[in-house]
Structure 1
């Protein structure tokens, strides 16, 4: 895009003895002040990520001026040349802009996802989910650029000068599905020494200052500040990609159901929830009056998630513990108390009848119940036990409970073999509940 920024033609001239060169005389571009950050070190701020930048400029719009060192050829001063925007309205996800946004906000004590210095970011920082996405709309650019020449009268191919941008920022919440803040900042910077494509460098540097000024906006800070929020602590991976043994957490054991599942179904459906991480949807279920069990891939490393009950009630949750290798996560839900399901820790028998409950394919299908039998007990690629059953699960069922014939939880829905249309073909896999709670360090009493 920026390759089209400069659209001017410089005519070749013969330099005569009367040529004189003076310093560039710049027109005034109003500089934007640099604001102090509104965030303090150690504050619990929601993670953010720059999602896109839109240049909201018309094709052919003048955005500045080239000043060619005031050439005077036999007493005639060469006229300044305008800089025109040549791209029209453009949406970009430019890596350099992402990096400058990251550095500007990170230096101002904000939690930003996507460390540009992480060589293996796909396995570490980049796997974190931002709670808010930030978009910037560049509405105004002003450049005063000096096109530098040598004392011999040759163009150097470098530019210095002053640049300014005005940016309208929007903060989007994937959990709420809406823009929660719109604000505007400006940024300006100066190049005293010439660099190649200096006009592009000025825009990038001014954008970084505008991002730094976003950090100084109190409204932006207040949207991200988690007040009365419980800090979360998912266990870190060790050098082998495994979660070290987690400290024991004692939990009350809910008495088992003793009557057929049909008599307990209303309570079961009220205890199974749909979980939104901002990047996808899954299921989960209460194991205590305030704790929900689900898959790690449903929680998706997000600290804050939305939990929706079958009656439509919405609350929020935070991740307390997580084990990526076993694919289990424990969430703490705001409010309550809620009704937990009983956990049966004894092993299943082959051909035993089981039921899966969850929100397959779409949140409107929350509380869907399917029935099957235990086909076999096998191991996954890590040597961990898996329950194979033909109780059908689909996308969105992940994290929901697998129940025995009385409605006691015996497993956690995890995955299914699918056809080319990505629908389950009847071979479905579940994490044994005893192994899932053990991997999270939960001790049921």
Structure 2
């Protein structure tokens, strides 16, 4: 019969066993056949519980998340309203995810993640909406026609596109868009961008033809649902979230492009983030979710653009990826 060993306590400080007297008293008691406790200082290490070895899944999470970044895209500007002589600060930005595919700063993400700063007319329209909203807050009692007249007489003083990659250390770097698919062509919703860095961690690209039903996958990114600016620290904003699931279907878009359906939970902000297999290789990037049901978003139905489609854009970008960076399995 196997005897169960008693569990050791994890003591954070050394302690001393109480003594009932000094050494001379102990010797006297010993002559009478009595036992005396002598002060003994315990070694903390003797009482520490051995740490469990990390699981394969935990090792995978730590080895892959360091290559993931948050992408900020949009525009900002200033508008002047003659009616009150006030200058309004305007902003329209969106967030997405991406990952380093090369150690010198090339990043894979979605085309729709980087779209806004590339389309000045669309971004200016969103700034205008922000402007109207702010003016309305200053003139709540003004009727709609008067408000429209006031806004028409305003001036846009400045316009600046926002194209930044936020690293996990909090550093923000401008990015250059190298190549991009059409954001409305869902199966080709891929973009390659570049920032000026060296020796960053990367993720290998798997062969998506090897993906099979019920393969376990992990999605890494920056979902908006995990951004609680009122409850979490500023540093937490730069920590990526990890969700897992499985490959639940292999499907095609209306344009005939392949997509991989997974059961991993994703939300706004996950777009462009990698989905990796159990070897830590990217099988694709998150692109969109399933339709709403009764106007409610349903989790567990996310769609990934396969890694072999990503390869096409890497080739278009002229990236010289090393063999160890792109798996040929």
Give me the TM-score of the superposition, normalised by structure 2: 0.53
How do 1:49-60 residues align onto structure 2 when only pairs under 5 Å count? none
User: Deviation at 1:422?
Assistant: 5.4
Change (3 A) 1:371 1:342: same
Q: Deviations over 1:323-353 (max 9, x none)?
A: 1130100000123331111111242000111
Work out the CA distance in 2 between the residues paired with 1:415 and 1:376: 14
Pair 1:287 & 2:160 matched: no
The 8 Å contact of residues 285 and 340 in structure 1, kept in 2 or not, is answered as yes
Matched, 1:399 2:261: no
Relative to structure 1, the CA distance from residue 420 to residue 291 in structure 2 (aligned partners, 3 Å threshold; closer, same or farther) is farther
Show the counterpart of 1:425. 299
Q: Cα–Cα, structure 1 residues 397 and 266, in superposed 2: closer, same or farther, change >3 Å? A: same
User: Greater strand share, 1 or 2?
Assistant: 1
Per residue, is there more helix in 1 or in 2?
A: 2
Q: Say yes or no: does 1:319 pair with 2:177.
A: yes
Equivalent positions of 1:295-444 (< 5 A) are 295-300=110-115, 302=117, 305-324=163-182, 325=185, 326-347=188-209, 348-361=211-224, 363=227, 364=237, 366-417=239-290, 418-419=292-293, 423-441=297-315, 444=321
Q: Quick one: distance in 1 between partners of 2:314 and 2:206?
A: 17
Contact 1:350 1:375 in 2 (8 A): yes
- CA shift, 1:436, in A, is 1.9
Give the C-alpha shift of residue 431 in structure 1: 0.3
SS of the residue corresponding to residue 434 of structure 1 reads helix
CA shift in 2, pair 1:338/1:365, >3 Å: closer
Counterpart Cα distance in 2 of 1:398 and 1:346: 19
Cα offset for 1:320? 0.5
Are residues 1:271 and 2:67 paired? Answer: yes
**2:199 and 2:117 mapped to 1: Cα distance?**
23
Q: Distance in 2 between matches of 1:333 and 1:420?
A: 42
Residue 439 of structure 1, CA deviation? 4.1
- How far the C-alpha of 1:313 sits from its partner, in A, is 2.2
Q: Deviations over 1:281-340 (max 9, x none)?
A: 100000001100000000116366211123322222110010113010000012333111
1:25-84 deviations in Å (ceiling 9; x for gaps): xxxxxxxxxxxxxxxxxxxxxxxxxxxxxxxxxxxxxxxxxxxxxxxxxxxxxxxxxxxx
**2:275 and 2:283 in contact (8 A); partners too:** yes
Pair 1:344–1:261, CA change in 2 (3 A): farther
**1:395-420 deviation line (CA, Å, top 9, x unaligned):** 00000000101221111000112345
Count of aligned residue pairs for this structure pair: 187
Q: Secondary structure at the match of 2:193?
A: strand
8 Å Cα contact 1:328-1:440 kept in structure 2? no
1:371-400 deviation line (CA, Å, top 9, x unaligned): 111111110111000000101110000000
Deviations 1:197-251 (A, max 9, x none): xxxxxxxxxxxxxxxxxxxxxxxxxxxxxxxxxxxxxxxxxxxxxxxxxxxxxxx
Segments of structure 2 that go 5 or more residues without pairing to the other structure are 1-54, 75-92, 119-161, 228-236, 324-329
Q: 1:260·1:407 contact (CA, 8 Å) conserved in 2?
A: no
